[in-house]
Structure 1
């Protein structure tokens, strides 16, 4: 079930954390520095308002994508302009919030979701692993921890390993992303390099932090990355979503459906002219999704032959 409103998890134990909030200007500088020091300031623009740092990007990372996916939903990554709002004066509430969309953003501008694939996270399930909806277990993720969602938007559901490998400042002390409640996201270890003891991280995969008051982590085991927000988000319902593709002549594009049992030999090819191709086999037959930029900015000409559409060859122009 997908949720559009905050979910208060009353049954979970609430832990109190000390508050060490940075000043507004310092928090803005910390967000900007995390992007610049990693070498992504050419891909991600950071601007600060009175309340938020906005990380603007096309959500299309400069690393391999889609390799290793078997449980494809027959969607492909397509650039999408997106402004990710990070609160500059974070306040811990101790009441977890979740939603069926991004909970934060990586420092390369790619949105970060919980580990489930279609908004299945619910009030009761935050403290129980949902193996049947786990995107890693069901082989929906590529080797980089991400995939293309229902809106043909690339995002992460687990540790963004390829992004981390590309970071100029890669290391335990480097911030790899920001949750929308304003708290930073680190890797599998503490910033000083020490091991995070079992049971230290809370239900949202976070713990207390001496600088920011609180921080999130990735983890080798589920939930792998941020699965809920522990801070206050006044405009939680208004958090942005990536705009899905729509038919150039009007109407939305129907999403693909995961072929039963998964596909084989999936390869995503990126060409210098902006064209893309995802080719794979299913039941011994070849299928593909291909697109190239159209004359209209933000639009793409698609040619597809998918399992979802029973192998019918289809063409059309789709736009953000």
Structure 2
């Protein structure tokens, strides 16, 4: 019986120590949480999410609750700007915040087991006979001690409750949960302004809408070396079939990777009204690397719909520091410069990062994934589609006028010019000879295609939309 008592005392002391030292923190390995990367002037990079600031230092929460402090002055200039913004932002919103936090007095839960262990030890130390008579030689006494021990353990192992706390100390800013502000429609509309009236914009409380014909203001098709024999025609991206961008983005618990998803439909809409698709085609191939794209990063799909697969960086020459596109999750896409004109900083796996204003955005680049590596924001997937060829809804849809065509091996598109108001002439080279596709449409949406192969044979077809 003495051995049992000694075991209970020893176990109580050891367990109370271990329980008080339980792991904490918001971020754990395997949770899929993306930690921000902070860059020091020394070249060192530190991963962690901003927790609070005090005495010219920032405190970053890392995996498993680890806290890392960094002198603000040790950060590079861009990250110092980000820190200043976060401090100002949370000072503004923190004057009377009510937040739900883990009970900081969780160690009080372990008080019963500590007191129980201490009293049991002291009684045994000073009066062994008392222990022997009333506990060791008594079934009731021993049973009572065991029950009290079990109750103490259960209390110590219970989950922490939450308490409500009001922070009135502006010295320490602790952003437990920060919602993303609703995107200003004036900001979005200004990004599309340079391309009006070729496109139209409108909005309601939920979405920003982009109407377009699907034909960009730049040339198309030249430079394609892997051609599906599709050509660009107008598309009815208007009315209820306009492109829709949510005004209230929200972070997804797990970003949706474009390597294994979204190989159908648009992942973003460029500011000229042209949709941007996944960098990978519906076969999982990099469209740019296999020669499917023209000099502007686009080509035509099976519905003769023109769209990009690579970042339309050329739009930055028109739009300057403004976004070149908006993703279907609501976050903007910039070119190779930050919104303030400085050089682009390191990108995360989604192909973006938080700007100096604390808001997330993507960047277009010349290397894979070009625009979006994973959707940072929440989206709704079309339930009729499955990965990898799933797509986000709402989504504008094309309206084909002719059956889909097949690839023409060895063909390179060398020229593409407008013919009249509603027509084009495409020239391709195959070997040393040239072929042509001349097509047009009238006011009644009657389309005429004249296909001339490299041997000079012509076929004319008409289609009614």
| Interval containing the TM-score (normalised by the shorter chain) | 0.7 to 0.9
CA distance in 1, matches of 2:337, 2:316: 13
Alignment of 1:14-25 (within 5 A): 14-15=33-34, 19=178, 21-23=180-182
Q: Deviations over 1:247-295 (max 9, x none)?
A: 4xxxxx12332x33x3235211112332111111224443222211135
Report the CA distance between 1:231 and its aligned residue: 0.7
CA distance in 1, matches of 2:394, 2:430: 37
Whether the 8 Å CA contact 1:63–1:163 is kept in 2: the answer is: no
CA distance in 1, matches of 2:185, 2:358: 12
**Cα distance, 1:224–1:30 mapped onto 2, change above 3 Å:** same
CA distance in 2, matches of 1:12, 1:239: 29
Report the CA distance between 1:317 and its aligned residue: 2.4
CA distance in 2, matches of 1:153, 1:192: 34
What corresponds to 1:56 in structure 2?
A: 211
CA distance in 1, matches of 2:283, 2:354: 28
Q: Of 152, 156, 163, which aligns to 2:304?
A: 152
Q: Of 283, 293, 297, which aligns to 1:120?
A: 283
Whether the 8 Å CA contact 2:230–2:404 is kept in 1: the answer is: no
Whether the 8 Å CA contact 1:19–1:212 is kept in 2: the answer is: no
Q: Of 153, 163, 167, which aligns to 2:315?
A: 163
What corresponds to 2:447 in structure 1?
A: 300
Whether the 8 Å CA contact 1:301–1:316 is kept in 2: the answer is: yes
Report the CA distance between 1:201 and its aligned residue: 1.7
Q: Does 1:102 align with 2:266?
A: yes
Q: Deviations over 1:219-260 (max 9, x none)?
A: 12111112432211136553324324134xxxxx12332x33
Q: Does 1:255 align with 2:405?
A: yes
CA distance in 1, matches of 2:287, 2:222: 14
Q: Does 1:189 align with 2:337?
A: yes
SS of corresponding position for 2:266: coil
Report the CA distance between 1:80 and its aligned residue: 0.8
Structure ID, larger Rg: 2
Whether the 8 Å CA contact 1:175–1:184 is kept in 2: the answer is: yes
**Total equivalences in the alignment:** 278
Alignment of 1:267-286 (within 5 A): 267-286=415-434
Q: Does 1:66 align with 2:221?
A: yes
Q: Of 185, 191, 194, which aligns to 1:28?
A: 185
CA distance in 1, matches of 2:244, 2:369: 23
CA distance in 1, matches of 2:178, 2:437: 49
By percentage of residues, which structure has more helix? Answer: 2
What corresponds to 2:108 in structure 1?
A: none
Report the CA distance between 1:49 and its aligned residue: 1.7
Whether the 8 Å CA contact 2:313–2:324 is kept in 1: the answer is: no
Q: Does 1:315 align with 2:334?
A: no
CA distance in 2, matches of 1:315, 1:14: 57
Tell me which moved more, 219-228 or 53-62. Answer: 219-228
Task: Pick 1 or 2: higher relative contact order, CA cutoff 8 A, min separation 6.
Answer: 1
Report the CA distance between 1:67 and its aligned residue: 1.6
Q: Does 1:142 align with 2:294?
A: yes
Structure 1: 5+ residue stretches without partners: 1-10, 122-132, 248-252
Report the CA distance between 1:202 and its aligned residue: 2.4
SS of corresponding position for 1:246: coil
What corresponds to 1:43 in structure 2?
A: 198
What corresponds to 1:231 in structure 2?
A: 377
CA distance in 2, matches of 1:291, 1:47: 32
Q: TM-score, normalised by structure 2?
A: 0.55
Q: Of 180, 183, 194, which aligns to 2:328?
A: 180
CA distance in 2, matches of 1:231, 1:64: 32
